[in-house]
């Protein structure tokens, strides 16, 4: 008696263990500094190598540093700091895919001097492993083996693809500009649509510039540009569910200033990187039940886990906060400008039909004290908890991408800072589903010759022809053919007669 093994694939996503590590960034500088006023940071993974049991990757931290020189000039510089990271897990296999996220949780300016700024960044790495796993099920072509098949829906991984594109944005300023001190851009994914062999990604690029006018006044401006790009991915269909992760390649962003008759045009070309992953639900034929008419079979069933992708959510929410300076700090006579705004997402979860996102924003505020004629910097830490309606279950696993924009800070009575901003949040979601298939069978005992020509079966209401045939080890069609007056499943208890061919 021969059994064949058939295999089919299902997608499985697994969160790898989160961990933290330190990166020391040494930033060369050509001017003599008095102090660092603010640091804006972002990090991203770049090249990835997947081996059995481990993932190694390289990444970069982009830093935008605002500083004050000993001559009282405010300037800025950008720097890119490379680093390496690693995940280890026995579930990792060659050929898998992975989405890696690296956040700068905190930083410290360790030293300034010798033409160098030393910044220590505390980074947190997290990742979702994405893979197709083969599931084995059995069947048989033997004449005396009866097989009952079933159709189940399984989720499969179509694939993953990377792309890049640029988004141009412009600021029209109606007064002379002495210099643009800094520019910062963030990307927000709003729509992800599957097509035929491509994934369409739409969203916004939010750009902020800080500039100094000829009248020595600091000004901040925001602009938002929409984009829609198609990323090629073979095998994707319109029925696929896709997700996208996008990030700004800050080291490649370009900023130009052009003087016009009406003022100044500041043109910023933002480079965007995007990674898309697509999943497809399809029907799969599996063996639901199996038996032999000539032998007793020992049948084994195996369970398997697969991940089901849930379309992502997007929402916006306003946040606010306050900070009061202590009595030892110089009072605020004028806010000069808002430096870099950083944020950390500390937790995200689903509860009572809502998705919750918790975190902290950290904004650097540079202000002037008239008494000392000095510039001072203070960091505002604003914790936040925001939520929005969602249709996923509480045991669903989620990951979030956050953009902080429209940041504003005002001061009251020289010591109290009031903060408000807008959060734009994308929520990617999936849940784990458990299935089961028959994955093994072996003969435990041969059935001897039947010693009777007629067998009476006391069948119960609800039983099917398959149930009865399996019980007495005959073919299903035998039960149906020999009992033409019965309807299956049985509507009531019945006495069923089956005629056997007796061997002499």
Residue 294 DSSP label: S
Query: Are 483 and 455 in contact, with CB atoms under 8 Å apart?
Result: no
Rounded (10°) CA dihedral 317, 318, 322, 323: 70
427 closest CA partner among 187, 243, 200, 194 = 243
Strand partners, 324: 416
Average pLDDT over residues 143-161: 92
Using CA atoms, how far apart are residues 456 and 497, in angstroms rounded to an integer? 5
Does 16 score more than 90 pLDDT? yes
DSSP assignment of 414-467: TTEEEEEEEEEEEEEEEEEEEEEEEEEEEEEEE------SEEEEEEPTT--HHH
Query: Are 379 and 390 in contact, with CB atoms under 8 Å apart?
Result: no
Does 139 score more than 90 pLDDT? no
How high is the pLDDT of residue 503? 56
**18-75: per-residue pLDDT in tens?**
999 999 999 999 899 999 999 999 999 999 999 999 999 999 999 999 999 998 888 8
**314-350: per-residue pLDDT in tens?**
899 999 999 999 988 999 999 998 888 898 999 999 9
Centroid of chain to Cα 215: 46
- Domains of the chain with CATH codes: 11-130 (no CATH), 140-285 (no CATH), 294-448 (no CATH), 449-504 (3.10.350.10)
Query: Are 225 and 248 in contact, with CB atoms under 8 Å apart?
Result: no
Residue 469: in which H helix or E strand, if any? helix 465-472
233 closest CA partner among 128, 162, 164, 131 = 162
Give the list of residues 6+ apart from residue 469 with CB closer than 8 angstroms, or none: 146, 475, 476, 478, 479
How much of the chain exceeds pLDDT 90, in percent? 67
* Residue 311 pLDDT level (bands cut at 50, 70, 90): confident
Query: Are 268 and 203 in contact, with CB atoms under 8 Å apart?
Result: no
Residue 468 DSSP label: H
Using CA atoms, how far apart are residues 339 and 38, in angstroms rounded to an integer? 6
Give the list of residues 6+ apart from residue 394 with CB closer than 8 angstroms, or none: 350, 351, 352
- Between strands 334-351 and 354-369, the pairing is antiparallel
311 closest CA partner among 251, 224, 390, 419 = 390
Give the list of residues 6+ apart from residue 165 with CB closer than 8 angstroms, or none: 227, 229, 271, 272, 274
- Which pair of tokens denotes residue 238? 């319109």
Give the list of residues 6+ apart from residue 372 with CB closer than 8 angstroms, or none: 330
How high is the pLDDT of residue 4? 84
Using CA atoms, how far apart are residues 89 and 67, in angstroms rounded to an integer? 42
Residue 395: in which H helix or E strand, if any? none
Using CA atoms, how far apart are residues 486 and 466, in angstroms rounded to an integer? 13
Query: Are 247 and 189 in contact, with CB atoms under 8 Å apart?
Result: no
How much of the chain exceeds pLDDT 70, in percent? 99
- Which pair of tokens denotes residue 177? 């500009």
DSSP assignment of 169-187: EEEEESS-EEEEEEEEEEE
Query: Are 287 and 301 in contact, with CB atoms under 8 Å apart?
Result: no
Residue 24: in which H helix or E strand, if any? strand 4-28
Average per-residue pLDDT for the chain? 91
**218-262: per-residue pLDDT in tens?**
888 989 999 999 999 999 999 999 999 999 988 889 999 988 877
Does 494 score more than 60 pLDDT? yes
Using CA atoms, how far apart are residues 428 and 12, in angstroms rounded to an integer? 15
Half-sphere exposure of 446 (CA within 13 A, CB side): 3
- Between strands 54-69 and 33-51, the pairing is antiparallel
Using CA atoms, how far apart are residues 442 and 33, in angstroms rounded to an integer? 79
- C-alpha distance from residue 14 to each of 3, 128, 188, 364 (Å): 33, 5, 24, 37
Using CA atoms, how far apart are residues 482 and 67, in angstroms rounded to an integer? 93
Using CA atoms, how far apart are residues 241 and 194, in angstroms rounded to an integer? 7
**428-468: per-residue pLDDT in tens?**
899 999 988 998 888 888 887 777 888 888 999 999 999 99
Does 387 score more than 90 pLDDT? yes
Using CA atoms, how far apart are residues 137 and 123, in angstroms rounded to an integer? 44
User: What is the largest distance, in Å, between two alpha-carbon atoms of the chain?
Assistant: 118
Using CA atoms, how far apart are residues 367 and 221, in angstroms rounded to an integer? 18
Residue 494 DSSP label: E
In a 3-state reduction of DSSP, which class is residue 2?
coil
Question: Which pTM does this prediction carry?
Answer: 0.85
Using CA atoms, how far apart are residues 300 and 302, in angstroms rounded to an integer? 7
């Amino acid at each position: 008696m021969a059994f064949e093994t058939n295999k089919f694939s299902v997608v499985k996503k697994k969160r790898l263990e989160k961990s933290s590590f330190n990166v020391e960034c040494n930033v060369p500088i050509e001017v003599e500094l008095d102090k660092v006023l603010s640091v804006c940071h972002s990090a991203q993974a770049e090249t990835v190598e997947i081996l059995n049991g481990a993932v190694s990757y390289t990444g970069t931290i982009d830093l935008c540093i605002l500083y004050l020189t000993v001559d009282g000039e405010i300037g800025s510089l950008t720097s890119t700091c490379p680093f390496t990271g690693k995940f280890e897990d026995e579930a990792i296999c060659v050929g898998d895919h992975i989405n890696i996220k690296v956040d700068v949780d905190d930083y410290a300016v360790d030293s300034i001097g010798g033409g160098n700024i030393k910044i220590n960044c505390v980074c947190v790495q997290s990742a979702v492993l994405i893979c197709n796993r083969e599931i084995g099920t059995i069947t048989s072509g033997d004449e005396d083996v009866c097989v009952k098949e079933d159709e189940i829906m399984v989720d499969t991984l179509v694939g993953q693809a990377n792309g890049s594109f640029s988004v141009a944005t412009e600021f029209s300023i109606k007064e002379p500009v002495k210099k643009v001190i800094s520019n910062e851009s963030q990307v927000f994914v709003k729509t992800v649509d599957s097509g035929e062999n491509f994934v369409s990604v739409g969203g916004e690029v939010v750009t902020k510039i800080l500039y100094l006018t000829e009248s020595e006044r600091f000004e901040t401006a925001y602009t938002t540009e929409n984009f829609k790009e198609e990323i090629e991915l073979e095998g994707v269909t319109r029925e696929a569910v896709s997700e996208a992760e996008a990030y700004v390649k800050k080291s490649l962003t370009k900023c130009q200033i052009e003087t016009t008759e009406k003022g100044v045009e500041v043109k910023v070309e933002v480079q965007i990187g995007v990674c898309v992953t697509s999943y497809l639900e399809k029907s799969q034929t599996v063996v639901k039940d199996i038996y032999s008419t000539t032998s007793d079979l020992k049948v084994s069933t195996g369970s398997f886990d697969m991940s089901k992708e849930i379309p992502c959510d997007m929402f916006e929410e306003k946040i606010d906060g306050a900070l009061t300076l202590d009595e030892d700090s110089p009072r605020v006579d004028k806010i000069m400008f808002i430096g870099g705004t950083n944020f950390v997402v500390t937790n995200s979860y689903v509860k009572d039909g809502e998705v919750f996102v918790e975190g902290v924003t950290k904004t650097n505020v540079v202000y002037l004290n008239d008494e000392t004629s000095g510039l001072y910097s203070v960091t505002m830490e604003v914790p936040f908890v925001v939520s929005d309606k969602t249709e996923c279950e509480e045991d669903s696993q989620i990951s979030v991408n956050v953009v902080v924009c429209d940041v504003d800070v005002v001061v009251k009575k020289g010591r109290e800072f009031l903060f408000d901003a807008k959060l734009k949040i994308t929520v990617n979601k999936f849940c784990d589903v458990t299935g089961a298939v028959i994955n093994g069978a072996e003969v435990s005992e041969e059935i001897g010759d039947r010693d009777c020509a007629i067998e009476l079966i006391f069948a119960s209401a609800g039983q099917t022809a398959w149930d009865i045939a399996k019980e007495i080890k005959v073919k299903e069609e035998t039960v149906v053919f020999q009992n033409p007056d019965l309807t299956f499943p049985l509507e009531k208890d019945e006495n069923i007669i089956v005629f056997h061919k007796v061997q002499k």
